[in-house]
Amino acid sequence: MVSDNMDVITWDAEEYIARDKTMWWYVGLVVVGLLLSGIAIWFQAWTFLAVIVLSVVALIVYSMRPPRILHYTLDNNGLMEGEKLYAYDDFRAFGILNESNHFAIVLIPRKRFSVKVTVFFPQSRGEKIVDAFGARLPMEEVKPDMLDKLIKFLRI
Q: What are the pLDDT digits (tens) for 62-110? A: 889 999 999 999 999 999 999 999 999 999 999 999 887 889 999 999 9
Looking at 2.60.300.12, 3.40.50.300, 3.30.460.80, 2.30.29.30, the CATH number of the domain 9-15+69-154 comes to 2.30.29.30
The predicted model gives 16-22 an average pLDDT of: 87
Tell me which long-range contacts 17-25 makes (C-beta under 8 A, separation of at least 24).
Answer: 17/67, 17/99, 17/100, 17/102, 17/120, 18/66, 18/67, 19/152, 19/155, 19/156, 20/155, 21/63, 21/155, 25/63, 25/155
The predicted model gives 37-55 an average pLDDT of: 97
Delimit the domains of the chain by residue range: 9-15+69-154, 23-64
pTM: 0.80
